[in-house]
Amino acid sequence: MSTAVSFPSAQPAGYEWFTDEPKFDPTRHLALEAPTEIVMLSDLGYDDAEIATKATPVACSSPFRVLSDEGAEIMLILARRLLDFAKPAGDRIERMTRGGCYRSRWLRDLCISPEVSAHMASIYGVDVAPHAMPLHLGHINYQPTNLSDAVDKWHHDTLPLDCVMTVTDPATLDGGHFEWFRGTKHEMVEMRARGEVMPRERVVAPEFPGPGYAIALHGNMIVHRGAPLNALGERISMVNGYVAMDSSADEQSRSRDLIVVDDPELLYTEWAKYAAWRAHERLGALIADLPFGAGSESASAKLEASIVDVQRAIADMRAGEVVVEHYE
């Protein structure tokens, strides 16, 4: 099993484990199935040079089953309990709960499950691990109280890779579809600058057959949203983050967006460890591979590239709050 940064063994202040939940059992609670379709970044219009710097050339998958019926029932019960800890994400999402993996061992064990991680790696076509920042594990979105609001506005993610899973049954809802844009985020920026609305013929709304189904997303590269509901109803989704184990690709994160969103008790510690892991991997590769005769320019440039994520983390932490980005 690949691990970027191990899930902490210590509990952060203010987080208590649920004491009355079942133990996660992959043989009973998982029912992993392969997706039937994989969409590539090149299908969205990204060019080879840009794709080469990213975690994977995969953009997203069609929906595939993750949880058994029993697993989906437990997930729904836990998600409802975690609503007690919901907060807004700027003006992008009205209600979401993060840090749930420090409260529910079942959710934690699902999110760091080696079986699920291996499944995700097979879809992405690269080795991946549960995200190094546990705040990005088991993120839960809830329907807004205002019907006209999108569940989550058009955006691309603050993390590279994620798995978006239905917790409630989509068949019970009118609207509230998960949607993605068949185009690049650069096109989205240009369309927004021209004041154009999202062209409906380029929006894909995959059918999720039930609760406990997910799609794999290259979330930092694919523009997506949770569309508004047409009638009030319970709509819960769970998002689990992943990172590519090959740290030579771009970091693809906007952790600074999290300053106004996340509990500082968790954020800076997790963020520092994530940046340190990235640099640690890159420095390790430099130690292993740097040949004699590298020369001043090459050696200094390689050292600099190895610590770029650490330098950016330091600068972003010190620069402080920034508005949560979205396209609306």
Give the footprint of Fe ion on residues 156-175 (CB under 5 A): 157
Select 94 or 157, whichever has its Cβ closest to Fe ion.
157
Quote the least distance from Cβ 157 to Fe ion, whole Å: 4
Q: Which is nearer to Fe ion, 157 or 251 (CB)?
A: 157
Nearer to Fe ion, 221 or 244 (CB): 221
∠ CA 281-52-182, nearest 5°, is: 125
Q: Is 267:192 a contact under the CB 8 Å cutoff?
A: no
Residue 151: CB minimum distance to Fe ion, A: 10
Q: How many Cα neighbours within 13 Å face the side chain of 56? A: 29
Task: Tell me the closest approach of the beta carbon of residue 239 to Fe ion, in angstroms.
Answer: 6
State the residue for tokens 């979401």: 96
x/- letters, 270..299, toward Fe ion (CB under 5 A): ------------------------------
Q: Which is nearer to Fe ion, 157 or 262 (CB)?
A: 157
The smaller minimum CB distance to Fe ion, of residues 282 and 326, is found at 326
CB of 98 to Fe ion, least distance (A): 13
CB 322 within 8 A of CB 257: yes
Q: Closest distance between Fe ion and the C-beta of residue 247, in Å?
A: 22
Q: Show contacts with Fe ion in window 72-91 (CB under 5 A).
A: none
Contact call for residues 1 and 118 (beta carbons, < 8 A): yes
Q: 41-50: which pairs have CB atoms within 8 A and are 24 or more residues apart?
A: 41/218, 41/221, 43/182, 44/182, 44/183, 44/184, 44/221, 44/222, 45/183, 45/184, 45/187, 46/184, 46/221
Judged by beta carbon, residue 92 or residue 103, the one nearer Fe ion is 92
Give me the phi and psi of 162, to 5 degrees please.
-155, 165
Residue 179 sits in the site that holds Fe ion (CB under 5 A):
no
Least Cβ distance, residue 168 to Fe ion (angstroms): 17
At residue 202, φ and ψ (nearest 5 deg) are -105, 10
- Between CA 12 and CA 41 the distance in angstroms is 38
- Least distance in Å: CB of 301 to Fe ion? 34
Provide the mask over 118-157, with x wherever binding to Fe ion is found by CB under 5 A and - wherever it is not. ---------------------------------------x
Residue among 95, 180, 97, 205 nearest 146 (CA): 95
Q: Which residue is nearest to Fe ion (CB)?
A: 157
Nearer to Fe ion by Cβ, of 165 and 310: the residue is 165
Binding site for Fe ion (CB under 5 A): 157
